[in-house]
Structure 1
Amino acid sequence: MSKELKVMETKQYDDEIDLYELIEILVRHKWNIVLTTILCTLLSLGGALYVRSKTPNYLMKSILIQQDSYGLKGVNKIDTNTILLQDKNVERILEIEPIKAEYLAKIPKEQQNIASERKFLQEIITISKNDKNPEEILIKTEILADENSTSDVINTYIDILREQDNLADVIRKEKALKSESLEKTRLEVENIQNEVLDIFKKDSDLRALKPEEKMNYIASKYPDLNLRKSEQEKYYNTYVNDLVKLDSLNDKVDIIKETTDIYFVKGQSKAKLILAVGIVMGLFLGIMVAFLKEFIDGYKRRYKK
């Protein structure tokens, strides 16, 4: 019975993994592990540097679009999402020579058309709104040729947005119309006043009335004239108030305000992650190579016996 237990214990010990033996194997093949780790690290470093070189950097600028029609008709709605949908805007941005050169170099000649130009610009220009403040717009542009030409792209985009803003023109036209109407009403009021003066001169019944009674007399005896007078005075006051209101909008004409200068943002690459994974994989493969080599060496020794 005891012999059987001893045999079972011996088999159990044989099946157990000897930690010291594993460490001895790793130490014996340490140079294989080191070389494998270095090789994988160098390969991952090359991959990381390549990925880093291909990771784009960006220029950004924030603007604030505070738009209101102020009850005026014909005020354009500034829409940042439709700029690149218009062919003339696409062509205008691509008038920037370095950007045009990048497009020509990237897109095959047989595919060069307005559609591919639009797609090219849509890929390098990103417009986003602040979730907390939808009026705040962030313009993000990938740096292609150089920072100066990329800055020109952002500035041109903002210029196109400003050209959509016609509030100043609408205010100017509205003021011209109100001023013309005011002048006509003023002349009409003067004519009515002259007619009242003629009545004062010709109507002898007015001479016996007190000053406060004279206007009531005219209103009752000449109702049409009094109605015209009331209407024209009402129009006159309305036009004056409208012009005052339009003048107060002068400080609100600049709808698009630049809240930041153009600033540089480095693109986030996965270079560090690639390098870290390469080192870990190199170490893992090195250990696997060490055990594989130990297995082959053991097999050769057993085969020779």
Structure 2
Amino acid sequence: MNKELKVMEPKQYDDEIDLYELIEILVRHKWSIVLTTILCTMLSLGGALYVRSKTPNYLMKSILIQQEDYGLKGVNKINIDTILLQDKNVKRILEIEPIKAEYLENTPKEKQNIASERKFLQEIITISKNDKNPKEISIKIEILADENSSKDIINTYIDILREQDNLADVIKKEKALKSETLEKTRLEVENIQSEILTIFTKDRDIRALKPEERMEYIASKYPDLNLRKSEQEKYYNTYVNELIRLDSLNDKIDSIKETTDIYFLKGQSKAKLILVVGIVMGLFLGIIVAFLKEFIDGYERRYKK
């Protein structure tokens, strides 16, 4: 039994991996590992630089849309989702020459139409809402030709949004109507006052009354006239207050407020990841090459024997 164990022990050691032997193999073929790693690193560096050159950069701007109708009829709702759905807005943005040139260069002639123009702009323009404050909007533009043309896109987009806001026109129209009605009411009040003055001069009974009793006398003897007077004075005061309210809205006409300047945003590329993966892969392949060469060298030695 002991003899069998002694015979088996060498076999067990033969199957075990000798760490020192592995290290010796790696040291012997160190230049193969180094050269393979350098080659893979150079290839990955080239790929990283290419990816980095193709990674787009952006310009961004944030705006705040604080729109209310203030109880007025006919106020348009500012809708950022419909800007590029309107053909006139697409054409207007593409009036920016460098952007138009990029579109023509990247779109085959047979596919140049309003649909491809819209798709082109949708790919370079990103509109997003703040999750915490839906009224805060970010406009992100991919820089294609140059920064100035991208700034022009942002400014044009904001101009289009502002043109949707017709609050100022509605206020102006409403003020004109209220002013006209107020003038008619004022004239009616003056006519009623003239009628009351006429009563004062013709009705002898009223002359004997004290000043504070005269209006009570008119209210009881001429109820229709008194009712007309109360109604018209009420209308007059209502229209005056409404005009004051409309005037106060002038400070709130600008529903779109620019909360930030246009700023540069660097695109996130995978260049660093590609470089790191290339180095690791180079080292791994170098080790494989080292063991492969060791295997070939061993095979050749055995064959020569």
Verify same fold: TM over 0.5: yes
Root-mean-square deviation (CA, aligned residues, Å) is 0.9
The one-letter code of the counterpart of 1:236 is Y
Instruction: Report the counterpart of residue 99 of structure 2 in structure 1.
Output: 99
Instruction: Report the counterpart of residue 8 of structure 1 in structure 2.
Output: 8
| CA distance in 2 between partners of 1:249 and 1:231 (Å) | 27
Matches within 5 A, 1:167-186: 167-186=167-186
| CA distance in 2 between partners of 1:7 and 1:142 (Å) | 75
The C-alpha deviation readout for 1:42-98, integer Å capped at 9, x for no partner, is 111111111101100000011111111111111111111111110000000000000
Instruction: Report the counterpart of residue 158 of structure 2 in structure 1.
Output: 158
Instruction: Report the counterpart of residue 22 of structure 1 in structure 2.
Output: 22
Tell me, yes or no, if structure 1 residue 270 matches structure 2 residue 270.
yes
Matches within 5 A, 1:46-125: 46-125=46-125
| CA distance in 2 between partners of 1:182 and 1:221 (Å) | 28
Q: Give how far 1:208 is off.
A: 2.2
The one-letter code of the counterpart of 2:129 is K
| CA distance in 2 between partners of 1:12 and 1:79 (Å) | 78
Q: Give how far 1:210 is off.
A: 2.1
Percent identical pairs in the alignment equals 87
Matches within 5 A, 1:92-241: 92-241=92-241
Mean alpha-carbon deviation: is it higher for 54-63 or for 201-210? 201-210
Q: Give how far 1:297 is off.
A: 1.6
The one-letter code of the counterpart of 2:94 is L
| CA distance in 1 between partners of 2:206 and 2:123 (Å) | 83
Structure 1's consecutive aligned runs of 4 or more residues displaced over 2 angstroms after TM superposition are none
What is the TM-score of this pair, normalised by structure 1?
A: 0.98
Matches within 5 A, 1:27-46: 27-46=27-46
| CA distance in 2 between partners of 1:6 and 1:143 (Å) | 77
Total equivalences in the alignment: 305
The one-letter code of the counterpart of 1:21 is E
The C-alpha deviation readout for 1:9-29, integer Å capped at 9, x for no partner, is 100110000000000000111
Aligned to 2:134, the other structure's residue is in SS state coil
The one-letter code of the counterpart of 1:232 is Q
| CA distance in 1 between partners of 2:275 and 2:244 (Å) | 68
Mean alpha-carbon deviation: is it higher for 206-215 or for 115-124? 206-215
| CA distance in 2 between partners of 1:98 and 1:248 (Å) | 43
| CA distance in 2 between partners of 1:267 and 1:297 (Å) | 49
Structure 2 spans left out of the alignment, 5+ residues: none
Structure 1 spans left out of the alignment, 5+ residues: none
Instruction: Report the counterpart of residue 300 of structure 1 in structure 2.
Output: 300
Mean alpha-carbon deviation: is it higher for 92-101 or for 165-174? 165-174
Aligned to 1:254, the other structure's residue is in SS state coil
| CA distance in 1 between partners of 2:251 and 2:6 (Å) | 101
| CA distance in 1 between partners of 2:6 and 2:20 (Å) | 23
Q: Give how far 1:304 is off.
A: 2.4
The one-letter code of the counterpart of 2:263 is Y
The C-alpha deviation readout for 1:107-146, integer Å capped at 9, x for no partner, is 1111100010001000000011111111111110000000
The one-letter code of the counterpart of 2:292 is L
| CA distance in 1 between partners of 2:209 and 2:59 (Å) | 81
Q: Give how far 1:252 is off.
A: 0.6
Tell me, yes or no, if structure 1 residue 288 matches structure 2 residue 288.
yes
